[in-house]
Amino acid sequence: MEKIHTTCVYCGCGCGLFLHVEDGQVVGVSPSPSHPMSRGRLCIKGWLAHEFLRHPDRLRTPLIREGDRLRKATWKEALNLTHQRLSDLLDSHGPDSLAVLTSAKGTNEENYLWMKFARAALGTNNVDHAARLCHAPTLAGLGQAFGSGSMTNSIESLGQADVILVTGSNTTEQHPLVASYILEAQARGGTLMVLDPRRTQLAGLADIYVPTLPGSDVAWINAILNVIIAEGLVDREFVDARTEGFEQVREVVSRYTPEAVQEICGIPAQRLREIARIYAEAERSAIVYAMGITQHVTGTDNVQALANLALATGNLGRPGTGICPLRGHQNVQGACDMGALPDFYCGYQRVLLAREKFEKAWGLSLPEKPGLTAVELMAAAREGRIRGMVISGENPMVSYPDRERIKEALEALEFLVATDIFPTETTALADVVLPVASFAEKDGTFTSTERRVQRVRKATDPPGEALTEWQVTAELLSRFGIETCYQSASEVMEEIAALAPQYGGISYDRLGIEGLHWPCPDVNHPGTPILHGQAFSIGRGRFRAVDYRPPHEAPDQEYPFLLSTGRSLYHFHTGTMTRRVPLLDREVPGPSVEINPADARNLGIREANRVTLESRRGRVSARAHLTEGIPPGMLFMAFHFQEAPANQLTASALDPLSKMPGLKISAVRIRRDDQ
Ligand SMILES: Nc1nc2c(c(=O)[nH]1)N[C@H]1C(S)=C(S)[C@@H](COP(=O)(O)OP(=O)(O)OC[C@H]3O[C@@H](n4cnc5c(=O)[nH]c(N)nc54)[C@H](O)[C@@H]3O)O[C@H]1N2
Ligand SMILES: Nc1nc2c(c(=O)[nH]1)N[C@H]1C(S)=C(S)[C@@H](COP(=O)(O)OP(=O)(O)OC[C@H]3O[C@@H](n4cnc5c(=O)[nH]c(N)nc54)[C@H](O)[C@@H]3O)O[C@H]1N2
Ligand code: SF4
Ligand SMILES: [Mo]
């Protein structure tokens, strides 16, 4: 039996694992003891990461639409048709009638080639991906504050914190290995504070758990800064030497006294003072956040408010400090790094500033105008402004907000080509479906949440006629007249290293088992686990004053409950992979609506009753699950289940700064089905 070292395909923790190969088939997984972050541990999804590989549903041949069915086709037919239909739309309606959505499940190399395809072959900056629904506010918020929208510190650094403030992150379920470092810090004597509307497992383990009201984050974060300033806990030396804009923030937060905001955020004034003191008085305080902070129409402001806290207390650039936005998909960090974004090339080089550099490198002229973001692209498709779309490894029919509108958008397209490893609700609407290799069947790299660039190694062949996606993309590039001569994924990485400064020193022969933290500017550079040590790349760290704004929708008489959406430990997103793993499916076989027992009693709802939820956008039915983990007035649904798609209910109201939809808040009503 052979053991191939690779990187887990699920979450941004980026655990190392071995795939066990027997007779050319992957028969098992074991953890990697020498992996520096995961150190011989995996969560249950990692242990079962091989189980979907040979599932009979895997896509094995290209498919082409004939009327209302998809028929088998050859690669030549499928690629010719894709080339012809996209070229026709390009000729008749121009490059900005086309768009590409890339995959955070894909490798860096695949994302790089798709963004090159959008810009160089189609001539449009309409390229984006699921990061828009995930950490777009982090890119915008931390990007403006620190010059980089990435996790400031390594995961290991969290283990060295004296205080960790976790907010809007269900860490033990969604980033289990990061949670283990947080708990290690606590076991060493550190203080763990969790602020979250739901009582998560980590909240139960915390030294201090503070329930918050959804959508109120700017209010309580500003109040903490108010206390820090009022009580003289500001790190004056750091603020004077390394930051700008403090005075303006001081003025704005002076209005956010704990007494003034306690009603808005549901946190008693005394509690706010206590949290502020604990965070600011420690030698090393770290902040960890995820979707509870970003998935709001105020997402960028929420992130900036947290950045203001770290800047005011000098909690940056040292082990145990920092701001840690936990990236979700195993390669959503990398997909952003690769420029699968409408306003950036790879390496966060702005379209508006770096066009000439890429024109020279690729030898052609490139579009000037930044493109549309993911949710905007869907609106444009519905209105007929986007006519052709490539969707590589995403399932927007289940993952994007306001599903009915997404369906209208995808159905309105004149041509849709989708790549995936399984048939999905999205591939079902495509004109051409291209079957591609999964993580175990290809070479490449993933970049984890801590900016660790790691190898993905081929352990087995893809099923049937499925091909490695970077080869498919390279093939399409050449059909559009862009010469490529990549012999391997590592040659794609050579091109990336030449163009993205943070990846300048990264090559496959250096990655080994440990990988490298970017920025790694040259071949002798050891990588950078902790950012902003001596200076910010933008010179000084930038405070920006932010004011509390209420969410896009509030419960009212007609829709009296606030629905929050999210995930479970056992499933990943739209369930294409985890729902095909029997052990995971057995743990959580279907959708449920979590409701507080007091609310359930008032409505005559008992455990496992079927209930219907309705919002202004649509309705879904599922079984009720009564839990004290949800406060009265709030409901929770995971969005994994296409038979009760939570996104039927969500709205596509956007954060003006990052274009993130407010996925964490929808006003809904609920009733028992038999009433
Ligand atoms: N098992 C599993 N792991 C995953 C994923 C998966 O699907 N399954 N997905 C991956 C991806 S892409 C991502 S982005 C991450 C997501 O990881 P998380 O962001 O941890 O996951 P969510 O379930 O979205 O939950 C966010 C938390 O925010 C809280 N919250 C809701 N509203 C608010 C609010 O207004 N303010 C605050 N402060 N908190 C709020 C919720 O109660 C919840 O605890 O997980 C990654 N890991
Ligand atoms: N209501 C609500 N909606 C949400 C969220 C929420 O919290 N609430 N969270 C949002 C967030 S944070 C995210 S990140 C998005 C996720 O949204 P998506 O990324 O659309 O969701 P996934 O189900 O992970 O889709 C990935 C697809 O890639 C396929 N795939 C797997 N491996 C490969 C591969 O190697 N190559 C290719 N080409 N395809 C592959 C899978 O089969 C799957 O169909 O959902 C967002 N939507
Ligand atoms: S914690 Fe994340 S990366 Fe690690 S094994 Fe689990 S899903 Fe995979
Ligand atoms: Mo995500």
- Say if 58 falls within a structural domain: no
Which residue, among 383, 336, 294, has the nearest Cα to 128 in the 3D structure?
Answer: 336
What distance in angstroms lies between residue 11's CA and the mean position of ligand 2's atoms? 11
* pLDDT(211) > 90: yes
366 and 322 fall within a common domain = no
CATH of the domain at 411: 3.40.50.740
Q: How far apart are CA 585 and CA 562, in angstroms?
A: 28
pLDDT of res. 23: 96
Ligand nearest to the CA of 567: 1
- Say if 467 falls within a structural domain: yes
175 and 316 fall within a common domain = yes
Ligand nearest to the CA of 43: 3
- Say if 542 falls within a structural domain: no
Average of per-residue pLDDT across 31-52: 98
What is the rounded average pLDDT for all residues in the chain? 98
155 and 262 fall within a common domain = yes
CATH of the domain at 23: 2.20.25.90
φ and ψ of 411, to 5 deg: -70, -25
- Closest atom of ligand 3 to CA, residue 42: 5
pTM for the complete prediction? Answer: 0.98
Domain boundary among 485, 517, 549: 517
* pLDDT(410) > 90: yes
- Say if 506 falls within a structural domain: yes
647 and 615 fall within a common domain = yes
Q: How far apart are CA 379 and CA 364, in angstroms?
A: 30
Domain boundary among 284, 301, 326: 326
Ligand nearest to the CA of 594: 1
197 and 285 fall within a common domain = yes
108 and 234 fall within a common domain = no
Q: From the CB of 138, is ligand 1 less than 6 Å away?
A: no
Q: From the CB of 573, is ligand 2 less than 6 Å away?
A: yes
Give the DSSP per-residue string, 284-352: SEEEEE-HHHHSSTTHHHHHHHHHHHHHHHT--SSTT-EEEE---BTTHHHHHHTT-BTTEEGGGEEHH
The total of structural domains in the chain comes to: 4
pLDDT of res. 319: 98
What distance in angstroms lies between residue 51's CA and the mean position of ligand 3's atoms? 14
Name the residue of 129, 567, 588 to mutate for ligand 1: max ligand atoms within 8 A of Cβ. Answer: 567
* pLDDT(567) > 90: yes
- Say if 534 falls within a structural domain: no
pLDDT of res. 302: 98
- Whole domain around residue 649: which residue ranges? 561-672
120 and 163 fall within a common domain = no
CATH of the domain at 249: 3.40.228.10
Ligand nearest to the CA of 17: 3
Average of per-residue pLDDT across 502-518: 98
158 and 33 fall within a common domain = no
Q: How far apart are CA 405 and CA 383, in angstroms?
A: 11
291 and 393 fall within a common domain = no
* pLDDT(675) > 90: no
- Say if 220 falls within a structural domain: yes
- List, for residues 418-470, the tens digit of each pLDDT value: 999 999 999 999 999 999 999 999 999 999 999 999 999 999 999 999 999 99
- Closest atom of ligand 3 to CA, residue 49: 8
Residue list, CB under 5 A from ion ligand 4: 134, 328
- Say if 525 falls within a structural domain: no
pLDDT category at 544 given cuts 50, 70, 90 is very high
CATH of the domain at 664: 2.40.40.20
344 and 318 fall within a common domain = no
Q: How far apart are CA 442 and CA 108, in angstroms?
A: 12
- Say if 556 falls within a structural domain: no
- List, for residues 339-350, the tens digit of each pLDDT value: 999 999 999 999
Domain boundary among 517, 539, 572: 517
160 and 243 fall within a common domain = yes
Q: From the CB of 35, is ligand 3 less than 6 Å away?
A: no
147 and 158 fall within a common domain = yes
Whether the CB-CB separation of 656 and 620 falls below 8 Å is answered with: no
Name the residue of 43, 51, 180 to mutate for ligand 3: max ligand atoms within 8 A of Cβ. Answer: 43
Name the residue of 200, 291, 584 to mutate for ligand 1: max ligand atoms within 8 A of Cβ. Answer: 291
